[in-house]
Structure 1
Amino acid sequence: MKTQLSFVLLMLLTCLLSACGKPTEEQKKEALNEVPAIDEPEKTIESLFEVEDGFTLLHLKDFEEFAGKSKEPVSGKNWTEKDGIISCQGQPRGYIYTRVALGNCTVRLEYRFPESAEKNADPNTGFLFYITGENRVWPKCLEVQGKYSEMAHIKSNSKDITLEVTDNPEAREKVRRPIGEWNAIEVVCKDGALTSVLNGTEIATSKPSELKDGFFGLQSEGNPVEFRNIRIQELTD
């Protein structure tokens, strides 16, 4: 009798274990369908970058393009944007500029020359401030150099404007990152005076000139270059 009872209990235990065994593929699918989907927030360009309070992130659509002396829209050939990165092929030589003129402001951005630019030991671009007058190559304005050897140097782009500039080449050499890596530029424009900061270190300052407002632009100067996270803050004080 004890032997028969043990056999019955063993059979019941075996059945219970079978019932609680691994789920079938159908059961897996049904279980997955019952789990509510989690809505992921849509990724935007703004969410890819750090945009500080008071700053506005610029896209390619916020610029117009000039090549030579001929006005033309952003063509999608020399200037393109993908995943928040504005790419410039370097030809034709010219520049894009903001649709709104700026006075006192702070501009922050990151840029790099692709590794392919190493074929040129000193690739070139620039950041134009207070663009005014005739649209030509190059316009009347001040420039913060993007050229690799002179990164963050400040100069005048007009023979009519003499600029008094203080520059720190030793600091530039110390903080400048190699071709292929991103360099961060900050420029503070205050009553016509410019201060440039490279990767967190002040590099150059200029005394005020007659130019105190105008458009902001990016140069196409013969070499491929990429820009990202371009932010502008207009200063009221």
Structure 2
Amino acid sequence: MLKTPTLIKISGSCSLLVLLLAFSSCSTTQKAAGEKGWVSLFNGKNTKDWIVKIFHHEVGDNYGNTFRVEDGMIKVRYDQYDKFNNRYGHLYYKQPFSHYHLVVEYRFADEWRKDAPSYTQLNSGVMFHSQDPRTMPKEQDWPISVEMQFLAGLGDGKPRPTGNMCSPGTDVIFQGKKDPRHCIESSSKTYGKDEWVRAELIVLGDSLITHIIDGEKVLQYSKPQIGGGVANGYDPNIKVDGKLLKEGYIALQSEGQPIDFRKVEILNLEGLSPKSPLYNRYFAPEIPIK
């Protein structure tokens, strides 16, 4: 198991730089957005506000009804597939975000497709700071993005934390330096297959990012940027290595393991007023991040 990262209280502080990043480009519209409170990105009825992109398929083609809404949940299923054929899929919310607090509640369900790669068993996630799916060629496998990875235990008694960070086509700064690993483990406990898990992301543009699992901060890193490997088939004009990611799309993942999402909510922090009671929680400095 990887070394547990040192965590910094989000109620403490980022640096003055975070404040400058947060407010340097605020418009009147953005300020209003920051005061709306929690908003559900999933309406409980359909995915009309979402965009599908599945590897080997054009954007908008929901092959095999992969992403569907049943019982008030977004469900990822493969019962209409003839074979998996590495059809990694993502369901993107229609607009990008920069500074926000995201909540996703998920549970793994049904049986993993045995013709999917072995690492995908009880494995899914939510992508963020992602490229626009409409910029992805048909044969691009993974979006250039950062992933909050979801895992469950395999029943072998070995720890398998959830809320990890993976980086298709990206890099991050972890514990003061650019980390070469594709995935960085969190300090969360191991969850069982059928447990509902509450996963939260606090994203402050291209500065501090915090992962929270069931109320516990489990991972922090900073400066998400384009770079690294893993993503393939992309438009080379999109992959500008070293470019900091200030914003991007949020997407629910499909990679061979059925999963249910019952909640996807966001608190938009873009242009949050210093007079807001939420301001100190997210932006008042105490301990600068390196």
Please list, as runs of the form range in 1=range in 2, the aligned pairs for 1:17-96 lying within 5 A after superposition: 54-59=37-42, 60-68=47-55, 70-74=58-62, 77-89=65-77, 92-96=87-91
Match of 1:204 in 2: 219
Task: Work out whether residues 67 and 95 of structure 1, in 8 Å CA contact, stay in contact via their aligned partners in 2.
Answer: yes
Query: How far, CA to CA, are the matches of 1:206 and 1:191 in structure 2?
Result: 12
| Shift of residue 153, structure 1, vs aligned partner | 1.0
Match of 1:151 in 2: 162
Q: Does 1:232 align with 2:241?
A: no
Structure 2 counterpart of 1:188, one-letter code: I
Q: Does 1:177 align with 2:191?
A: yes
| Shift of residue 83, structure 1, vs aligned partner | 2.9
Q: Does 1:110 align with 2:105?
A: yes
Query: How far, CA to CA, are the matches of 1:184 and 1:80 in structure 2?
Result: 21
Structure 1 counterpart of 2:164, one-letter code: H
Alpha-carbon distance change, 118 to 96 in structure 1, aligned in 2, over 3 angstroms: closer
Match of 1:127 in 2: 126
Query: How far, CA to CA, are the matches of 1:111 and 1:96 in structure 2?
Result: 15
| Shift of residue 223, structure 1, vs aligned partner | 0.7
Match of 1:218 in 2: 252
Question: Over alpha carbons, which structure has the higher Rg?
Answer: 1
Q: CA RMSD in A?
A: 2.5
Task: Work out whether residues 154 and 205 of structure 1, in 8 Å CA contact, stay in contact via their aligned partners in 2.
Answer: no
Identity of aligned residues (%): 23
Instruction: Please give the per-residue CA displacement for 1:115-159, whole angstroms capped at 9, x wherever unaligned.
Output: 54599894111110111163232011111111333411123211x
Query: How far, CA to CA, are the matches of 1:125 and 1:207 in structure 2?
Result: 22
Q: Residue 204 of structure 2: which of 178, 190, 199 is its match?
A: 190
When the two structures are superposed, what TM-score results if normalisation uses the length of structure 1? 0.68
Please, which moves more after superposition, 120-129 or 199-208? Answer: 120-129
Query: How far, CA to CA, are the matches of 1:219 and 1:229 in structure 2?
Result: 14
Instruction: Please give the per-residue CA displacement for 1:172-199, whole angstroms capped at 9, x wherever unaligned.
Output: 12xx431111000000000223110001
| Shift of residue 71, structure 1, vs aligned partner | 1.1
Task: Work out whether residues 57 and 231 of structure 1, in 8 Å CA contact, stay in contact via their aligned partners in 2.
Answer: yes
Higher helix share: 1
Aligned residue pairs total 180
Instruction: Please give the per-residue CA displacement for 1:80-128, whole angstroms capped at 9, x wherever unaligned.
Output: 1123211001553210101111110111010011154599894111110
Structure 2 counterpart of 1:180, one-letter code: D
Task: Work out whether residues 205 and 246 of structure 2, in 8 Å CA contact, stay in contact via their aligned partners in 1.
Answer: yes
Query: How far, CA to CA, are the matches of 1:168 and 1:179 in structure 2?
Result: 18
Please list, as runs of the form range in 1=range in 2, the aligned pairs for 1:156-171 lying within 5 A after superposition: 156-158=167-169, 161-165=170-174, 169=186, 171=187
| Shift of residue 75, structure 1, vs aligned partner | 5.8
Task: Work out whether residues 96 and 249 of structure 2, in 8 Å CA contact, stay in contact via their aligned partners in 1.
Answer: yes
Task: Work out whether residues 103 and 212 of structure 1, in 8 Å CA contact, stay in contact via their aligned partners in 2.
Answer: yes
The structure showing larger relative contact order (alpha-carbon pairs under 8 Å, at least 6 residues apart) is: 2
Query: How far, CA to CA, are the matches of 1:168 and 1:98 in structure 2?
Result: 26
Structure 1 counterpart of 2:247, one-letter code: D
Task: Work out whether residues 89 and 254 of structure 2, in 8 Å CA contact, stay in contact via their aligned partners in 1.
Answer: yes
Task: Work out whether residues 56 and 231 of structure 1, in 8 Å CA contact, stay in contact via their aligned partners in 2.
Answer: yes
Query: How far, CA to CA, are the matches of 2:197 and 2:143 in structure 1?
Result: 25
When the two structures are superposed, what TM-score results if normalisation uses the length of structure 2? 0.56
